[in-house]
Structure 1
Amino acid sequence: MTIRALVWNENRHEQTNALVRRLYPEGIHGEIAGVLRAAGGISVETATLDEPEHGLTVERLAATDVLVWWGHTAHGEVKDEIVQRVQERVWEGMGLIVLHSGHFSKIFKRLMGTPCALSWREAGEVERLWVLNPNHPIAAGLPPFFEIEHEEMYGEPFTVPEPMETLFVSWFEGGEVFRSGLTYQRGAGRIFYFRPGHEAYPTYHHPVVRQVLANATRWAYNPATAWKRVNQAPNVPPETAPVPLTVKGPRLHADGEEGFR
């Protein structure tokens, strides 16, 4: 079955910075979309911040299996109602891949429930990423480690929840280390955070980074029907209980009455 991916990018640096525009003439979203199309078995669309509803309409999200998110300078411009919409789709089973500075995006912070803060330095350092679990699907076909010639440093502590698994650890030329590949699950949706991707460097042209993006999209895909009940809290009438029972004691709610939220 073809995986339906949607690559979202705020698309602001490409409009204002000549260096970023030269590195990514089709935008970061266009570059990543090309990576996924070339991987095979993935159909790809793109969306950007300035489109109506940020390109994330109810209908479009319903037709998305995996959402890839890149943002940096305009996190605050993403409307809260759109963030809620994306969160509910993740709960239902849509995969989410959050890249680089997307750690501060509204959607990632909401799903993590923590500040998602870190230290950083923009000095074009060598980044060496070590693969901690070569048997994980996201690490399929990867070498034991790989290097990116120039990258922005992210340093620990990274104030995120303990992940299901840490797949990559980065070492930087200045000596810092960072957990650069983390997996989570929220509701029925799988989430992968991948650190590399500073817009001033050609990171998304790196062959191993491109392989990680393709692997992660396949891993995040959930073929099951959307779990529409994940956000429901029905008041179940006593007579429909699997085992017959008699109501005993006082009740706060009448049959069928909604609970408090």
Structure 2
Amino acid sequence: MYAPKELGELYQKLHDGVPRTKNGGVVGDARHVAGGGYHISRALLLDHGQKGDYSIQQARDKRGDEDAASALDWTFLDQTGDQGIRYWSGRLMTVCRAEDPRVVAVLREWFGTIDGRTVTGYSPFRKRIVTSSDKSHLFHIHHSIWRDVCEDWPKLSAFADAVLGVPAAATPGPKPALPKVSLAALVAAAKADPGRGQGGTTPGSADDVRLVEAALLRHGLLDDDYATDGAFGSSSVAAYRVWQRLCGYEGADADGIPGKTTLTKLGAYAGFSVVA
């Protein structure tokens, strides 16, 4: 069993974008052999009688070098801020929920933490949030990579670009204008809507709120039930408060009321621009 050099190159590209990180490993140890999964090669799993292991059932996992491990653990030195695991777990949630083709082509699933307390992740294959009891994922993001692309550098490089926020290659023709979110309308809604009845909205703010709530939903911070009503109620305020903490704000600076810096950062990932 070996670690493909391309997975080392994938880590290096991620590390270049997020320097306060380390390579947590590709090849699993004896514990991984017993538990199965992508840290172990297909051949070794079969040698140990684990022909039913989930990581070698799909057609894509029956291709590729049988001796190659196909996972990467990306270890973080920080929990919060734009170098922290919580921020980058949220970023991964966003690109997965958006079904970025560069991610779907490479990633079977990932596990990390958005709140620093619970392990969560997402499976682009299953198109759903996944969880794990492995608390080591509070400190590193685990990537299960389809076995047929673990040595495909162009696809792995494009995946890293998607995670780091590098836009996909532009298609010919004029670039569509981004939808605009009014900071003033959002602040007014965040201050008034929690005091209204369920689903009550601030006049003129609902469209702006829906764009922001959709972004919070893609980050895994807001439940589906509250992401389409256009009301910036208490659940949306709480979700935005978590987003502010992911951006490195604490205490009174993380009050759930959108500010220009955090809203602009959210828009950069979700595809909207911010106006006054």
Q: TM-score range by the shorter chain?
A: under 0.3
Between Structure 1 and Structure 2, which shows a larger proportion of helix residues? Answer: 2
**TM-score of the pair, normalised by structure 2:** 0.22
